[in-house]
Structure 1
Amino acid sequence: MTEAVNHILDLGAYISSSPSSFHAAHEAGRRLTAAGFTQLAESQAWTGGPGRFFLIRDGAIIAWLTPEHATAVTGFNILGAHTDSPSFKLKPKPTTGRFGMLQAGVEVYGGPLLNSWLDRELRLAGRLVALDGTEALVATGPLLRFPQLAIHLDRGVNDGLVLDKQQHMNPVWGLGDPAGADLLGLLAAEAGLDPAQIGGYDVVIADTQAAAVLGAKGELFASGRMDNLTSVHAGLVALIAAAEAGAADGPIAVFAAFDHEEVGSASRSGACGPILEDVLTRVSDGLGATVSERRRAFSNSFCVSADAGHAVHPNYPERHDPANRPVLNGGPLLKINANQRYATDGAGAAVWARLCRGAGVPYQEFVSNNVMPCGSTIGPLTATRLGIRTVDVGMPLLSMHSARELCGVEDPFRLARVAEVFFGTVP
């Protein structure tokens, strides 16, 4: 349990440093650099061969560990995750307001549980891009709030809260006349930039409340952005541990944290884009592989798509499959869907079972109730794009897509342990 607690505290620190996908990629890069990894630029030539490397593209990061004895047909063991979470993104002309209150114009990003964002102290975080193309990360302190209408003015609210995404989801960030205020100017000042030089931005809302361990025995963990920074952190920790172990043989270990999964992954930094294939191709080229040998390497490869999944809710058990009801601290999930919303098949499930057994970690199957729609992940996208066998797994959560989600303390550490075994195993 001590290892699990240490892991969860580090996870909390990572989440605190990662209020946006850009911050998550930057913080991962900082940790990898400290562990001896070299950052590469996509525009430059790569020498190839063994070593520890990573690249950052916008809000995505891919890192890899090439063993000393890797060849042109050595397979890739890929752990995929994503850096974004459901939230709200600043619109153009974001400074709005009325009745003496300053408000922010925001667009809903992904599928947030809207009511969970009400009456919370929130921050803005993301990147600002200057006219000359230079970028700066920015993150404010507590700045915004979505104030809920008082019950005296909506007596039926407890019978069903209805929120209009345009009318009701406009956070307050101060008092005054919007004609004389400038939210972008505030962000520019926070980043030490001239507001007149800001040419573009990608800024989201994030919760400010620190992660917390709770429960009668400290067995629960609450935080924002656990979907999917629990998996990003697990893959990051596992890759660094694999690098420290220093195996000369085995697969090429790859940690791929994409952006934009919550909105379909169709971007240059998303799983539908070419970023992972670009990296694998260039690593393969560095090992002298022909096109045919690279395809052989892909056939020797395996991908673990690690995301979040649903633990059974004690107040809504009827929403879950009656025979498959994962619990908190019961181990990571093997996610299964007959309609290929998850990429898991029988062969992939067997690999996952072997990995968990090798790590000494229990796991649980997740499958949706037949009348409940099933979400999807980067797993089917990666399998389709690269032809690499993929299995979908995840962290059991309650309150998924809430501003503040809940998991068991032991499960994130267990996922990291399996990932560490995975990075050194030929499936």
Structure 2
Amino acid sequence: MENQVAVDLVEFLNASPTAFHAVDEAKKRLRSAGYEQVSEREDWKLEAGKKYFFTRNHSTIVAFGIGKKYVAGNGIYIVGAHTDSPCLKLKPVTKVSKGGYLEVGVQTYGGGLWHTWFDRDLAIAGRVIIREHKDGSESYSHRLVRIEEPIMRIPTLAIHLDRDVNDGFKVNKQTHLAPVLATSVKAELNKPASKNGSAETASSDDKKLDEKTSSRQKHHSLLLQLIAAQAGCKPDDICDFELQACDTQKSVIAGALKEFVFSGRLDNLCMSFCSLKALIDSTSADSSLQEETGVRMVALFDHEEVGSDSAQGAGSPVMLDALSRITNSFSSDTKLLPIAIQRSFLVSADMAHALHPNYMDKHEENHQPKMHSGLVIKHNANQRYATNAVTSFLFREIAAKHKLPVQDFVIRNDMLCGSTIGPILASGVGIRTVDVGAPQLSMHSIREMCAVDDVKHSYQHFKAFFQEFSHLDAKLAVDI
């Protein structure tokens, strides 16, 4: 029998080619579970026992269920993850024409394994800002778009023209990564006819500098037509967009024994999904929040892959704003927020490095996370991860109670360590934090892999955390 949590993960992944789509899919699942959307632009009127969520930039989402016995100053128990993954994002001006080809200008986002993007069937997804005409007036809307069929490709150079390529392929991110959209000849033949019956030409476009046609100088008309068709508008009504190249190959449960998930964006949509499902399921039963004294929360941030320094990243006030507004909704006493923060706890969930059978020397002998062996608790003495003995113990105790496997990871001393949203939020908010993640291979590749068992382990561990942390935390006192 297939692991149903992994099956649900695959559905989530296939619905989420971008951070915007991941947030949209999360919204659908939360609404179906009875969560109410609140706006950061308005005053919140929250009630104990109710469930809420809000989005920022439609690429970050925070959802929370308030315990029926919650009072201001009580703790908030959070699993934090991120919605973004390394990718190729379209530039503000994408029109590139070289050697009889129409190419699309892209910029690298995050630390991707860019050689894995070559010879893949690529599509485009993201969001567009649309000009709308209603009752003689103009308005603007934000729409998600997704072209699912392959329309682009980044071809490799034939080995006959680079005989040394197998000795080391070094990608030039500026000159090698532009995807091919079409040939100039075919694009010219397929241009739509203008009002006078002639095909539109580049020279006629260049003469039109008004707002509605300026985008034609920035982007190939063919690209705009494809985007407009998906957005349900005219090309001239596209005001701006944030789009990225996407692999068209679907996420699947695979392997000879169906034990793996093969997919892009496992880092970090796997942890985003597991935490979201755990929150929904831990707050769905009628009695699930009846005895809860705290708040159960999931926070999925954008821009982790580029440092989190944005209005919607973990380095922004999103987390502190959420904690503050929840606390202040139940009391006007400003002294209660610092107390609530000290009673709160964050599980920073970001995928971990599984032991690679072909590169065994990249892990030290005592810290070799393996697939099917549960969540990995990440440690780093230099605070690249925010785990300490207290936070590790508390998270490990939950695993022990439910007989869930758990592992430890420390980077080799002669290697540089990555980081997560954990240290950012721990230092910015002052909240106790443990860094964890499910083990995976091929991190930051266009196609990654993890184990279906670890998807289930992660979900179960996060769900147990939500259900039991307030009781467990009361048993351990440190700063007294």
TM-score by length of 2: 0.86
2:192 is equivalent to residue 149 of structure 1: no
Deviation at 1:281, TM superposition (A): 1.0
Deviation at 1:216, TM superposition (A): 2.8
Asked if structure 1 preserves the Cα contact closer than 8 Å seen for 2:351 and 2:440, the reply is yes
Asked if structure 1 preserves the Cα contact closer than 8 Å seen for 2:279 and 2:463, the reply is yes
Please identify, of 168-177 and 75-84, the stretch whose mean Cα deviation from structure 2 is larger: 168-177
Q: Which runs of 5 or more structure 1 residues have no equivalent in the other structure?
A: none
Q: Which residue identity is paired with 1:222? A: F
2:170 is equivalent to residue 170 of structure 1: no
Asked if structure 2 preserves the Cα contact closer than 8 Å seen for 1:73 and 1:293, the reply is yes
The partner residue of 1:210 within 235, 250, 265 is 250
Partners of 2:115 and 2:295 in 1: how far apart? 43
2:86 is equivalent to residue 86 of structure 1: yes
Deviation at 1:378, TM superposition (A): 0.2
2:158 is equivalent to residue 158 of structure 1: no
2:195 is equivalent to residue 195 of structure 1: no
Query: Match of 1:398?
Result: 441
Asked if structure 2 preserves the Cα contact closer than 8 Å seen for 1:46 and 1:286, the reply is yes
Q: Secondary structure at the match of 1:174?
A: strand
After TM superposition, the structure 1 = structure 2 runs for residues 230-379 of structure 1, keeping only pairs within 5 Å, are 230-245=270-285, 246-250=288-292, 251-379=294-422
Give the percent of matched residue pairs that are identical in Structure 1 and Structure 2: 40
Deviation at 1:97, TM superposition (A): 2.5
Partners of 1:224 and 1:143 in 2: how far apart? 18
Asked if structure 1 preserves the Cα contact closer than 8 Å seen for 2:81 and 2:268, the reply is yes
Q: Which runs of 5 or more structure 2 residues have no equivalent in the other structure?
A: 132-138, 188-200, 203-219, 474-480
After TM superposition, the structure 1 = structure 2 runs for residues 4-23 of structure 1, keeping only pairs within 5 Å, are 5-23=3-21
Partners of 2:19 and 2:80 in 1: how far apart? 15
Distance 1:97 1:360, change over 3 A: farther
Partners of 1:285 and 1:184 in 2: how far apart? 46
Deviation at 1:359, TM superposition (A): 3.0
Asked if structure 1 preserves the Cα contact closer than 8 Å seen for 2:82 and 2:301, the reply is yes
Give the greater-gyration-radius structure (CA): 2
Q: Which residue identity is paired with 2:158? A: A
Q: Deviations over 1:219-265 (max 9, x none)?
A: 12210000000010001100110111322133200100000000010
Q: Deviations over 1:138-177 (max 9, x none)?
A: 1112221111111111111111111100010001122226
Q: Which residue identity is paired with 2:26? A: A
Asked if structure 2 preserves the Cα contact closer than 8 Å seen for 1:322 and 1:369, the reply is no
Partners of 2:289 and 2:46 in 1: how far apart? 18
Partners of 2:323 and 2:47 in 1: how far apart? 13
Partners of 2:107 and 2:255 in 1: how far apart? 35
Asked if structure 2 preserves the Cα contact closer than 8 Å seen for 1:72 and 1:289, the reply is no
Partners of 1:289 and 1:146 in 2: how far apart? 57
Q: Which residue identity is paired with 2:440? A: L
Q: Secondary structure at the match of 1:350?
A: helix
Deviation at 1:286, TM superposition (A): 1.1
TM-score by length of 1: 0.96
After TM superposition, the structure 1 = structure 2 runs for residues 91-130 of structure 1, keeping only pairs within 5 Å, are 91-130=91-130
Query: Match of 2:226?
Result: 186
Q: Which residue identity is paired with 1:73? A: G
Query: Match of 1:135?
Result: 142
Partners of 2:385 and 2:235 in 1: how far apart? 44
Give the RMSD, CA atoms, in angstroms.
1.4
Query: Match of 2:44?
Result: 46
Q: Which residue identity is paired with 2:290? A: A
Deviation at 1:185, TM superposition (A): 3.8
Q: Which residue identity is paired with 1:146? A: I
Q: Deviations over 1:4-42 (max 9, x none)?
A: 711111101101100000000010001100111111111
Q: Deviations over 1:47-86 (max 9, x none)?
A: 1122110011120100000011110121000100000000
Aligned length: 425
Partners of 1:106 and 1:88 in 2: how far apart? 6
Query: Match of 1:33?
Result: 31
Q: Which residue identity is paired with 1:28? A: A
Partners of 2:408 and 2:123 in 1: how far apart? 36
Q: Which residue identity is paired with 2:164? A: G
Q: Deviations over 1:265-289 (max 9, x none)?
A: 0111100011121111111111115
Partners of 2:463 and 2:401 in 1: how far apart? 10
Detail structure 1 runs of 4+ shifted over 6 Å in the superposition: none
Q: Secondary structure at the match of 1:218?
A: coil
